[in-house]
Amino acid sequence: MTPCHPPRRLALAGRPLTEPHPARLPLDHPDREQVLAAHAAAIDADQAGYLDPHTGLFVLTARFLADRGTCCGRGCRHCPYVEGPEPQP
């Protein structure tokens, strides 16, 4: 039996935590400015996330995800690890 090892910490993408990957929040998204404002307010308040202004769903901040240290692979809007073009399913 192989021992369980903690996940290896990943390097962050080469963009500010305030800037999501364009495939996760496109520049032409109709609620982009509201989403970015809600994200920034949550980071400033040291909160794990915010309620999406359009859907009402809870969205984790890039700071929370970066502090976690690994990518879960679930397509988080503010994933700080996604680099380059989005992988195709």
User: Which phi and psi (to 5°) does residue 63 adopt?
Assistant: -65, -45
Beta bridge partners of 49: 60
pLDDT band at 18 (very low <50, low <70, confident <90, very high): very high
| Tokens (6 digits) for 25 | 């929040």
pLDDT band at 29 (very low <50, low <70, confident <90, very high): very high
Q: Over the chain, what is the mean pLDDT?
A: 88
CA separation (Å) from 66 to 4, 7, 56, 58, 73?
22, 14, 23, 17, 13
| Tokens (6 digits) for 23 | 């495939």
Q: What is the C-alpha separation between 66 and 81, in angstroms, rounded?
A: 8
pLDDT band at 8 (very low <50, low <70, confident <90, very high): confident
> What predicted TM-score, i.e. pTM, was given to this entire model?
0.83
